[in-house]
Structure formats: structure tokens, C-alpha cells
Structure 1
Amino acid sequence: MRLSRRTRLAGVALVAAASLTLAACGGDSGDDSSSSDQVITVDGSEPQNPLVPSSTNETGGGNVIDELYAGLVAYKADGSTVNEVADSIESEDNKTWTVKLKDWEFSDGSKVTADSFVKAWSYGAFIDNAQLNAYFYYPIAGTNDEGNSETPELSGLKVVDEKTFTITLKQAEADFPARLGYSAFFPLPDAAFGSDGKVTKEFGENPITNGPYKMDGEGAWEHDTQIRLVPNEKYDGERKPENGGLTFKFYTDLDAAYTDVQAGNLDVLKTVPDSALTTFESDENVQPVSEPGSVFQSFTIPQSMPGFGSDEEGKLRRQAISLAINREEITDKIFNGTRTPAKDFSSPLMPGFNEDIEGSEVLSFDPEKAKQLWAQADEIKKFNGKFQIGYNGDGGHQAWVDAVSNQLKNNLGIQASGKSYPTFDELRKDVTDRTIKIAFRTGWQPDYPSIYNYLAPVYGTGAGSNDGDYSNKQFDDLINQAAGAQDEDERYKLYSDAQAVLMQDLPAIPTWYTNIAAASAKGVNNVEFNWQNLPEYHKLTK
């Protein structure tokens, strides 16, 4: 959106009014039998880390954190932005922003102040704290290219008074406020910090929060089993719970989760297993949800993987791998049309989406060209290894990984297979620790509705979610220019130019966009899915 010289973000829609609202038919919302005291059970996965916003960049923890905390702004189901903790966010030049807060409390009754935000963000950016979301602070003055600050206090943040603080950016960025609903920008109470200035392990296990829900007392997080949340009576924002609480139940087998939905033992399952994709919409035991979606799927090939580096050999092999995959066949036969073959590195639901990126023909199926490129790479150095794709066995990924592996074997004549990790947490640990030596499945559930979010945190040099350690100065420069572009059309063109670089380098192999294919149990009402492919948890009743 275009912002005038003097901008006031007060319920301004980030996406056009014509964009899709992902509303699903989850029962009669006017049913008088719905009860606000009923706890809703939803599927989830064991968080990789303690529940601290700046150290959580995966969905297992992220989906829980989004219900526990409230940021300066919040996102509605269609991706439009409304002020939440912020009373106003203003700027004369789109570079220095003044934030004024509403009266707000944490779940323990302590005040949410300007210092609650400044201290939390400074903690997230301080390099000694090694927070996974540090890259999101990159636009703020005082950070380096990875979003890290060399000092505990971030120079671009200043507390003016108890309810006012300023944010000074490195350059003018008109859409910066729209990012402030992402979890990296949530506040923390003083009780989060120990005497050494670091967030304590105890806080991460049972955090004090300011969002629509809070932890259900000591022991609410039963590791590898579930996390129990209850409504936060101190919350006075846009997402007031209409239910009696949420329980995120952790499943290692989606088929078992679907069986629980059919039996009424699980209220909402956000991803239907492959085995039910052809039948769930006609299954009389569930309420099906099928809508367009915004989640991007891929598999990442680490830059350190032999034969797949940033040199000419590596680029040829990556392009050959991509061209050898028949995405149409897999999305049709395995996913029953509930996935859409990827045309770029973002999502068709994002403003500025372009399906004609320069070089995007590398995402088409062309086995002959794939063989030619692989042969050219072999002329540089013969490949005698085995290509493997790591995936989490609890996420329903085996079928497509096996299909991709078979296509690579048939179309390139190489050894290819999948490698299953029992849980998402175990896969992510190897990825984060950089102990994984093979390709691995990746995906992106957007943090805020912008193409920038699909690109910068994932492929920017040193970015916290740059799991393959990709680095290209041309890409970084284009993304930086896009962030500073004051004209919307110019910004979208720069996104396309940046993606053209990715099409050449292929740090990850785009596969498909995940449509919403979900199910709820009979008797569950107000099932509405949002721009993140997630239920509007606070609206669910039964």
C-alpha cells in the first residue's frame, strides 16, 4: 500500500479489499448450543525451543506463541492489519517511527510499557543472545546485516515515556509497521529476565504473556504430549477468546490425528493426511475445509553439500534437480489437487505476486534438459554420491518425498531416497545445529502478508531462517531496495528481480503451494482459516 508522507497506521488494510478471505464452512455460527466454556483441542507439534518469541522460528512453537502474546498490531483473517497494543504508530519520513501504547497488562497484572518492547527487541538483537529471529531486527538502526547488535541496548530504540517509544530505521521503509504483528516484535515482562539479563529457562517453560490466552498454570506444557492454554482475563484486544481454552495436542502420526477428529477426540486438524485427501470432503464423520492457501513448500539443498555449492557445478545440479520433478503429477496423484505447483518463492495470495518471474521455467518439468544440465555438471566433476531428502515422519511427507526421489532416479539416473526423522523437532535440531549433511524439506508459513517475508528471512545472508546458508549480494541488495521503495509498483518489481536471482541459484527447490485441506469434528463451530493457513483459534466453539 502507498503511505503518505505523514503516516498513521490505525487499522489500515495491508492487502487489498479484493483479496481472499479464507473462511471455511465449519458449522452454524449461530447455533445456540455453542458454549464459550468449552476447551478446544487442536493439533500441534512439540516446540523446538522454550516459548520465547525471539528464539522461535518454527510452527510448533510459533502457533502457540501467537495465541499467548499480543504485538503492536494484529492481523485479521484476511491479512489486514489493525492496531492492538499500539494506540498509534506515526512517522514524518517513514524512517523514524513514534509508537504510543494503549493501557495494557501482562497476565500477572504487571503493565505493558514502552520498555517491555524495547527491552525484548534489544534482547532479541543482542548478538551474545544468539536469537533465531534476530534477522527481523535488521531494519532497525544499530544492527548489522544479520540483525544483530554488538551492544545489549539497541541504538535505534528509545524510550520516551512509559507509553511511548521511537524506532529509528536504517532507511525509510513505508511498510515497516505492517511487520510489527510478527512474534519477534512481541513484548516481554521484567519477570522474563534473570540477574544475568537473559530470559530464564523457567520463563520459557511457563511464560507470563499479554495475548488472548495464557498458560494453564504449572505443568501446562507436557513435553511431547500437549500444551494447555486458557483465556487471559487481562487481555483487551481484537482477538478475545470465544471458547474456554485451547489444548495443542502433539501428534507424530497425522492418520491417528484424523481418526481422532472422526471420533470427536480432536476438534480441529489443520492438515488432512495424504491417506484421506480423496475422501475427507465426503466423509460424514468430519466437517471438511478446502480453500486456497498461502503456505510455500520446498526442499533446501545446503550450500555446503558436495557438488551443490555456489559454483557453476552446483547451479547446474540444482537446476537439473528442479527440472527433473513433475510437480503437476505429484500434486494431482498424491495430493488430489490440494496442492498447486509452485511458480515462484512466495504465494499467489500475496500482493504483488508474479507467476512470470524471469528464469521461472526452471520450475517446469523438462527431463531432457535436466539430463543435459546434469551431464554438464558431471563434465566439471563426476557425481558418485546419493541424493537424499530429510523429512519429519510426523508431518505426512513420506509419499511426496518418495515420489520426488523416484522421479530423480528415473530422470537423472542417480541414487535418490528420503531419510525420515521421527519428529519435526528432531529434524529442526539437526538443521539448526547444521549437523544435517543432506537436502531437507522446508516450507514457509508467512509471518505477515508480504512477499518480503517469504524472501528476506529465508534467503538473506545470515538470516535466521536461512537454513541452507545461502548468500548472494545481488539478492541482498535487491531486497534492501525493495524494503526502502516508497512506490508499491516499484517494490513489487524489485521482489520479482530478487526472485530472478533465486531462480538462477535455487538455494531451495520450490515444489508447491499448500492449499487448506483441513477437518473439524462434528459439533465444532466458527471454523475459519486465515491468511496463514491456520484456524482463527480464538473464534472456535463447540
Structure 2
Amino acid sequence: MPGKSRWRMVAPVATIALLAAGCSGGDSQDTEALPNSISISIGEPQTLIPSGVVETYGLQVLTSLFYPLVGIDKTNKPYTMAADSITHDKSAKVWTIKLKDGFTFSNGEPVTADNYINAWNYAAFAPNAQVTSYYFDRIAGYADLQPDPATKKPPTVKKMSGLKKINNLTLQVTLDAPFIGFETVMSYASFYPLPKAAFSGDGVLNKDFNEEPIGNGPFKMTGKWQHDQKIQVTKVPDFKGTVPKVDNITWKIYQDLGAQYNDLISGNLDVDTKIPTESLGSASSDLGLRLQKSPSSAFQFIGVPTFEKDFSDPRVRRALSMAINRQEIADQIYLGTQLPATSWVSPQIDGYRANSCGDACEYNPTQAKKLYTQGGGPAEITISYNTDGGYKSYIDALCNQIKSSLGINCTSHAVPSLSELVKDLQEKKNVGLVRLAWAMDYPLMESYLGPVYTTTGSSNYSGYTNPTFDSLVKDGDEAKTPDEAIKKWQQAEDILKDDMPVIPVMFGQNVYGYSPKVDDVTMDLSQNVDIYTIDVAS
């Protein structure tokens, strides 16, 4: 998210998503002892603060603890959930959000306009270092909450001028410029409200809130987050929104996909959100109809540090892309469960164009080697990946193809967890090339282009910058109609074909399995299990 990621790492796509496996070892009887309870696999989240989550592990847990203003239907259109209505003026610059009455946080606090305003101001205030702060930059006054661009002095203003409380159940949001997609953007986790109990002072988050967050959703935590083991939630009584069918969920945290799958087969896990590649051949016989595949918005790519001299020449990045045989990886590693990516935007999104990458994503070892030599590419490269996502065989295959095509040495570097890999990227550690992924935060092309490639994007770990690209993304944001926005965003995507800040590799699909104990198991485009439809089998 995010995750996703954030690069929003997708547990196998930030954001950006990879699902971990290899159980850390929570006692499965904790869940089995409770009536109407289920267990679902995740990896270790990086955080459970909504404005800090950029990967799918944390985002999945937050779907149980929080209830969004806006949901996204099967046609990728927004609809109100916690909001009673969302309207805007003719320019789509001033938005009025009316909340449904009667909602409370799980601690009993009523949900009011102040809870959204306080949460959004916290996310936007630069010293809080929230990775999804970027999502609020359209709101008037956001710039005042950032360091002075000339002196780098920290901001003294802590509240955005564009947020106004009309009454307890109504807030008004004024944007710096029109944005017809703002309602869709508000479906993302960064826009969740926070209770008064989250804060120890004005704009200061309680230091313990992350360990047992209080949300406005259908579930609440039954205790603190047991890191690397599990997160347990139980249904909130008299919840005013859509009510889930199950009463309790244990989010079981794994570090190895193989162990995760073994737990599913042995009856110690109810939903395995990512079948490991080494088990794809046997999963059909192991699970029968309980092995499922569904569309995903996941986009797997290789991030390239464009700010490093070795990779600053676009010819080197294009050469690396042309050295990869995507179809071979899809067929031999993923057994057809993933699809070759030749664009930077998921096929699930309006505005997607097949092969927008052009010949830069075609397998051509001869031309690749020529470009690599012309660009002065390094004689040795490293590709980092997180081991809790099951990517070793994929990265090994990628390295072998690059070595064969370019005649250089390629080695893989394993990082224990997705959260650690994201931390390394945020701290700008030298990880070389990096396996990353992104899933939509909301169903707009901008969700793929803005966070990952604009100069100030929250997940622009490649260090890519192109003023023309930034301008076109902004023009799309300010377009009067969705069709006009798509045209501008497609023009921005065309620039990526020449600059290649990242290398598209795979479009993901959800490949998951579940135990005989549960029914109605589905996963959405954002790689989340639908917690509202899943049920204990009759």
C-alpha cells in the first residue's frame, strides 16, 4: 500500500506487496479456542500508524481496525462508507465531507470532524516523518507544515489552513488546485481518523499507540501487537458500519512462505495469502478448489538508484530491462500465475496501455549489451530482495538472465523482511538494485505515477526527477474530467519509457489458498482478504 508499500511494497507487490511466510510461532490454539474465529497470514508490518503504512501487511491489518470514508466498488468507482456524503464545488477545489452519525472508536469515543482534521494534520507535519505525508500535499496550507525550502528551518505551523470544521459531523477541505479524483484518494488508509486517545498533546502522538492502535473499524485489538508472531482482533459490539461475519481474526506473522504454506496444509492456518512459488506445482492437488487466483493491481519492478554514477545513464537502465526475458520468468518461475509487465500502470486501472514501455521491455540481449557498453554500465551489480516474500528463485533467475545477456556478474542480497528493506531504502542505504512492488492505493493512474516517480513522491526511492514528468502528473490532477486526466497521465508515463527510472518485470495476481474451515474467501485488487465476506464454513 502505502506497502500497498511506500514503495508501497506489495506483499509481493510497497504500496509496493509481499506476504511473508515461515511462522514466527504464535500458538494456533489462541484462535481455535475462540468461537467463530479465523487466522490469516501476513508478514511483520513496519507500523500500524495509518499515515506511516506503505506495505500491504500493515494495510491489511488496518482494514480490520479502521473504517474508511470511502470504499471502492468492483468497477473502481468510489462510494461512501464512514462518510454520509461527499460533495465539491464546480471547480472541484472545495470539498465538503459529512460524516455518518453514531460511529465511535473502539474505546467509545464518538467519531467527529476533529478526529479527521487532527489525524491529517499529524500526517502532514514534516517533523512527524510520516511516509504518506505526500498524500496531503494537495490541501491548502500543506507547504506551511514543511521545512523552509531556502533555509531548511523546521516549520512552526502545525495545522493546514485548508482544513475547516463546520460542525461535529462536517469538515470542509480546500485544495490548492482543483482535483476531481480527491474522493477516490480518500479511500486510502492515510485518511483514517485518529481518536483523542492517540495523542498525548496537541499534535503529539502517544508513544504507545502504535502497539495497540484504536480505530473506528469493525474490530479492535485484544492486546498489544506481538511482534513477529501475531496481531489478534475481536469484533466491536454494535458496530454501525458493515458488520463482518466472523468474530475474531488472528493475523499470523510469518518470515517464510514455505512454513506459512505448511501451516495451511496441516490445519494451523485458515488463509494463506500467497502460495510460494516452489509449491505452485503441488498446490492444486493439495488444495483442490480451495486454491484460488484473482486479479491484483500488483506491479513488480526492479528499482534502480538513478542518483548513483553507475546507473545515471538511461542507456544502462534500458539495457538491464532488455536483458530480461519476462515471459520465461512468468512461465518457469511463476508457472503462469504472474504476467509479464510492459507498462508502469496496472492493467486493472483506467488508462492502462499494453506495451507502453515499447522496445525497452522487449527481450533483446544483443541490443542490451550494446547499450550497456555505450552507457558505461558497471561490471558487477547486486539485487536486494526481502526473504519473507518468497523471491529467491525469481531474483536468481533475473540475475542469471542479466549475466547471460550482458556478460557481467550479478549477485543477490537477501534482507530478512520487507519492513527492514523499506527501512534501508528510507535511510538511503546502499542496497544496489532492489526488488520492489507497488499496488494501487486508489484506482487512478496517478496512484502509480505520483508516489513512485515524481520528485517529491513518497516512495521515489530511485531518486528520479524530471520536471516535465512532474508537471504532467500535476496537470492530470487538475484536469476537469477523468478522461482529460488520463491523457495527461499517459503523457507522463511516456516519459518513463525514455528515462527508465525503474524496470517493469511482472504484473501480479493473487494466488491464495484456504482451509476447509472457512468459506467465501476473496482477495481484492489491493491484495487484501475481504474481512467482511469471509465466513466460518457451515
AA aligned to 2:361 is L
Instruction: Specify the alignment match of 1:110 in structure 2.
Output: 109
Residue 489 in 1 paired to residue 483 in 2? yes
Instruction: Specify the alignment match of 1:367 in structure 2.
Output: 365
- Partner SS for 2:494: helix
Structure 2, gaps ≥5 residues long: 1-32, 149-154
Conserved? CA contact 1:77–1:536, under 8 Å: no
- Distance (Å, rounded) in 2 between the aligned partners of 1:450 and 1:331: 26
User: Could you give the per-residue CA deviations for residues 82-107 of structure 1, whole angstroms, max 9, x where no partner exists?
Assistant: 21111111112211011111111111
User: Could you say if the C-alpha distance between residues 291 and 475 of structure 1 is closer, same or farther in structure 2, counting changes exceeding 3 Å?
Assistant: same
Instruction: Specify the alignment match of 2:517 in structure 1.
Output: 523
AA aligned to 1:237 is G
Residue 272 in 1 paired to residue 278 in 2? no
- Residue 399 of structure 1: how far off its partner (Å): 0.5
- Residue 148 of structure 1: how far off its partner (Å): 8.0
Instruction: Specify the alignment match of 1:283 in structure 2.
Output: 286
- Distance (Å, rounded) in 2 between the aligned partners of 1:57 and 1:102: 28
User: Could you say if the C-alpha distance between residues 425 and 272 of structure 1 is closer, same or farther in structure 2, counting changes exceeding 3 Å?
Assistant: same
- Distance (Å, rounded) in 2 between the aligned partners of 1:456 and 1:411: 32
User: Could you give the per-residue CA deviations for residues 7-51 of structure 1, whole angstroms, max 9, x where no partner exists?
Assistant: xxxxxxxxxxxxxxxxxxxxxxxxxxxx994211111111112x2
User: Could you say if the C-alpha distance between residues 148 and 489 of structure 1 is closer, same or farther in structure 2, counting changes exceeding 3 Å?
Assistant: farther
- Residue 345 of structure 1: how far off its partner (Å): 1.0
Conserved? CA contact 1:295–1:532, under 8 Å: yes
User: Could you say if the C-alpha distance between residues 144 and 508 of structure 1 is closer, same or farther in structure 2, counting changes exceeding 3 Å?
Assistant: farther
- Residue 305 of structure 1: how far off its partner (Å): 2.8
Instruction: Specify the alignment match of 1:230 in structure 2.
Output: 234
- Distance (Å, rounded) in 2 between the aligned partners of 1:292 and 1:258: 21
Task: Give me the TM-score of the superposition, normalised by structure 1.
Answer: 0.88
- Distance (Å, rounded) in 2 between the aligned partners of 1:468 and 1:503: 15
- Residue 533 of structure 1: how far off its partner (Å): 2.8
- Distance (Å, rounded) in 2 between the aligned partners of 1:148 and 1:457: 20
- Partner SS for 1:416: strand
Instruction: Specify the alignment match of 1:320 in structure 2.
Output: 319
Instruction: Specify the alignment match of 2:26 in structure 1.
Output: none
Of 273-282 and 35-44, the range deviating more from structure 2:
35-44
- Distance (Å, rounded) in 1 between the aligned partners of 2:147 and 2:529: 33
User: Could you give the per-residue CA deviations for residues 265-311 of structure 1, whole angstroms, max 9, x where no partner exists?
Assistant: 111111110111123223247710022322111110122333112xx
- Distance (Å, rounded) in 2 between the aligned partners of 1:67 and 1:362: 41
Conserved? CA contact 2:399–2:410, under 8 Å: yes
- Partner SS for 2:402: helix
User: Could you give the per-residue CA deviations for residues 497-518 of structure 1, whole angstroms, max 9, x where no partner exists?
Assistant: 1111112111111101111211
Residue 261 in 1 paired to residue 264 in 2? yes
AA aligned to 1:163 is L
- Distance (Å, rounded) in 1 between the aligned partners of 2:238 and 2:112: 15
Instruction: Specify the alignment match of 1:98 in structure 2.
Output: 96
User: Could you say if the C-alpha distance between residues 300 and 430 of structure 1 is closer, same or farther in structure 2, counting changes exceeding 3 Å?
Assistant: same
Tell me which of 395, 398, 410 is aligned to 1:401: 395
User: Could you say if the C-alpha distance between residues 126 and 295 of structure 1 is closer, same or farther in structure 2, counting changes exceeding 3 Å?
Assistant: same
AA aligned to 1:375 is T
- Distance (Å, rounded) in 1 between the aligned partners of 2:265 and 2:472: 48
- Residue 490 of structure 1: how far off its partner (Å): 2.0
Task: Give me the TM-score of the superposition, normalised by structure 2.
Answer: 0.88
Instruction: Specify the alignment match of 1:86 in structure 2.
Output: 83
Conserved? CA contact 1:54–1:131, under 8 Å: yes
- Distance (Å, rounded) in 1 between the aligned partners of 2:123 and 2:534: 32
AA aligned to 2:441 is D
Residue 421 in 1 paired to residue 421 in 2? no
Conserved? CA contact 1:303–1:469, under 8 Å: yes
- Distance (Å, rounded) in 2 between the aligned partners of 1:345 and 1:223: 34
- Partner SS for 1:279: helix
- Distance (Å, rounded) in 2 between the aligned partners of 1:296 and 1:145: 34
- Partner SS for 2:142: coil
- Residue 385 of structure 1: how far off its partner (Å): 4.4
- Partner SS for 1:307: helix
- Partner SS for 2:532: helix
- Residue 384 of structure 1: how far off its partner (Å): 4.5
- Distance (Å, rounded) in 1 between the aligned partners of 2:145 and 2:373: 37
Alignment of 1:36-115 (within 5 A): 37-49=35-47, 51-76=48-73, 79-93=76-90, 94-103=92-101, 104-115=103-114
Conserved? CA contact 2:267–2:515, under 8 Å: yes
Residue 450 in 1 paired to residue 456 in 2? no
Conserved? CA contact 2:453–2:465, under 8 Å: yes
Conserved? CA contact 1:292–1:516, under 8 Å: yes
Conserved? CA contact 2:125–2:158, under 8 Å: yes
Conserved? CA contact 1:134–1:148, under 8 Å: no
- Partner SS for 1:242: coil
- Partner SS for 2:370: helix
Alignment of 1:166-181 (within 5 A): 166-181=172-187
User: Could you give the per-residue CA deviations for residues 430-471 of structure 1, whole angstroms, max 9, x where no partner exists?
Assistant: 112111341111111211122211111111212211122221
Residue 438 in 1 paired to residue 436 in 2? no
Tell me which of 272, 285, 299 is aligned to 2:302: 299
Instruction: Specify the alignment match of 1:120 in structure 2.
Output: 119
Instruction: Specify the alignment match of 2:30 in structure 1.
Output: none
Instruction: Specify the alignment match of 2:311 in structure 1.
Output: 308
Conserved? CA contact 2:64–2:218, under 8 Å: yes
- Residue 71 of structure 1: how far off its partner (Å): 2.1
Instruction: Specify the alignment match of 1:26 in structure 2.
Output: none
Conserved? CA contact 1:114–1:163, under 8 Å: yes
Indicate the percent of aligned positions where both proteins have the same amino acid.
35
Residue 248 in 1 paired to residue 246 in 2? no
- Residue 536 of structure 1: how far off its partner (Å): 0.5
- Distance (Å, rounded) in 2 between the aligned partners of 1:434 and 1:233: 44
- Partner SS for 1:70: coil
User: Could you say if the C-alpha distance between residues 369 and 487 of structure 1 is closer, same or farther in structure 2, counting changes exceeding 3 Å?
Assistant: same
AA aligned to 2:118 is K
- Distance (Å, rounded) in 2 between the aligned partners of 1:540 and 1:266: 14
- Residue 78 of structure 1: how far off its partner (Å): 5.4
User: How big is the alpha-carbon RMSD for the aligned residues of Structure 1 and Structure 2?
Assistant: 2.0
Conserved? CA contact 1:46–1:224, under 8 Å: yes
Instruction: Specify the alignment match of 1:16 in structure 2.
Output: none
- Distance (Å, rounded) in 2 between the aligned partners of 1:201 and 1:262: 39
Structure 1, gaps ≥5 residues long: 1-34
Report runs of 4+ in structure 1 exceeding 3 Å deviation: 76-80, 144-150
Conserved? CA contact 2:469–2:495, under 8 Å: yes
- Distance (Å, rounded) in 1 between the aligned partners of 2:77 and 2:267: 33
AA aligned to 2:264 is V
How many residues are paired up?
495
Residue 342 in 1 paired to residue 341 in 2? yes
AA aligned to 1:503 is K
AA aligned to 2:208 is E
- Distance (Å, rounded) in 1 between the aligned partners of 2:264 and 2:463: 39
